[in-house]
Amino acid sequence: MSPGHTYYRIYPMVKRLSLIMIITALSMFDVSARVKPGPDDSVEWGKGVIVAFGTARVPISGLGKPVSDEEENAEISLNRGRVGAYRKARERAVANLARLVRDIRVDADTTLSDLLDRNEDVQSRIGNIISTRVKVVEYPVDFATSGCRAELKIGDILNAVPYTYPADDFPIRIDNPIATDYTGLIINAKGLPVRPMILPSVYSEEGLEVYGRFNVDIRQAGKFGIVAYAFSEDDAMKFRAAGAHPYYTVALKEMKGCPVLSDRDVRKIFSSRSNLEMLKKCRVIFIIDKPKK
């Protein structure tokens, strides 16, 4: 498809980029990639994606002719100039996305930048994920400017985090005489400093972790995330993870950036084996406050 048309596909151009360039983008700041019109780069936790943009302009000579900035300002066709501008826009969008990745919180104590700065294996894994999993939309901004939107699923990053996922069994609660089956778990944490992260936990009043990476099926987490994030009850009910009959509760407080549930809630959730299977499949949603821009 020729430049100027909008399309959406797995990003093939990044595969031809050096992983060293991508990893460098994770640790450096390119001012030229930052200055651009259009939407802001963002981590959209409600949609489970990271989105970044880049733009580039066809070089124009003083005579109003498209020129190559790689061949000492030699005149080129407008079509060739636009192809080059799209390439640069893609590279800038991916570089912007790579910088956003650094700020993603992994758990209560760690960000991806912490892992990237001390672990070369994580750098290589992130580079490979960006080079194979990023999707793009290319579009014209104006007559001489090309734009690109790059998107990466937050769940894809799980493969780069050097943690184990043992899929331990949840503890069985026998102190609830009435077993009730639920299709999902919705925890309203609005008004609390609960922060979005890749590997969140849920705690009991006693401070015990009752839900987290040690118990879930990582295959499900890779598809949908360990937790889905919503900003309202209506939005929460739209998630597949909620199902037709979710258990809804309000967090008592926050611990390590994660919600704390009452003992009564924990007993009801753990009242049946069906609910434990629901938790293992990551059918959990946090309702949180919208991040301030």
Would you list the DSSP string of 169-214? PPPPP-S-SS----S-EEEE-TTS-----SS--EEETTS-EEESTT
User: Which of 103, 125, 160 corresponds to the end of one domain?
Assistant: 160
Please list, residue by residue across 108-136, b when 16 or more beta carbons sit within 10 angstroms of its beta carbon and e when fewer do: eeebbbebbeeeeebbebbbebbbebbeb
Residue 192 and residue 152 share a domain: no
Q: Is residue 292 part of a domain?
A: no
Q: Which pLDDT belongs to residue 70?
A: 62
Q: Which pLDDT belongs to residue 59?
A: 80
Residue 145 and residue 277 share a domain: no
Residue 150 and residue 107 share a domain: yes
Contacts of 19 (CB under 8 A, 6+ apart): 124, 127, 128, 131
Cβ–Cβ < 8 Å for 173, 71 = no
Residue 218 and residue 144 share a domain: no
Q: Which pLDDT belongs to residue 61?
A: 75
What is the domain extent for residue 252?
Answer: 185-287
Residue 20 and residue 147 share a domain: yes
Assigned token pair, 66: 């498209």
Please give the chain's pLDDT, 293 residues, in tens: 444 444 444 444 444 444 555 555 555 444 344 444 558 899 999 999 999 999 998 887 766 776 776 666 687 777 777 888 899 999 999 999 999 999 999 998 999 999 999 999 999 999 999 999 999 999 999 888 999 999 999 999 998 999 999 999 987 766 766 889 999 999 999 999 999 999 999 999 999 999 999 999 988 888 778 999 999 999 999 999 999 999 999 999 999 999 999 999 999 999 889 999 999 999 999 999 987 76
Q: Is residue 177 part of a domain?
A: no
Residue 202 and residue 145 share a domain: no
Residue 133 and residue 225 share a domain: no
Q: Which pLDDT belongs to residue 23?
A: 54
Residue 272 and residue 128 share a domain: no
Cβ–Cβ < 8 Å for 265, 249 = yes
Residue 190 and residue 280 share a domain: yes
**Sheet of 7-10, strand order:** 7-10, 135-140, 145-153, 49-57, 42-44
User: Which of 94, 127, 160 corresponds to the end of one domain?
Assistant: 160
Q: How many domains does the chain fold into?
A: 2
Q: Is residue 141 part of a domain?
A: yes
Q: Is residue 174 part of a domain?
A: no
Would the CA dihedral through 275, 198, 203, 186 be positive or negative? negative
Residue 209 and residue 152 share a domain: no
Q: Is residue 173 part of a domain?
A: no
Q: Which pLDDT belongs to residue 172?
A: 73
Residue 270 and residue 127 share a domain: no
Interatomic CA distance for residues 42 and 51, integer angstroms: 5
Q: Is residue 82 part of a domain?
A: yes
User: Which of 127, 160, 193 corresponds to the end of one domain?
Assistant: 160
Q: Is residue 166 part of a domain?
A: no
10 Å CB burial of residue 217 (0-12, 13-18, 19+) is middle
Residue 13 and residue 146 share a domain: yes
Q: Is residue 168 part of a domain?
A: no
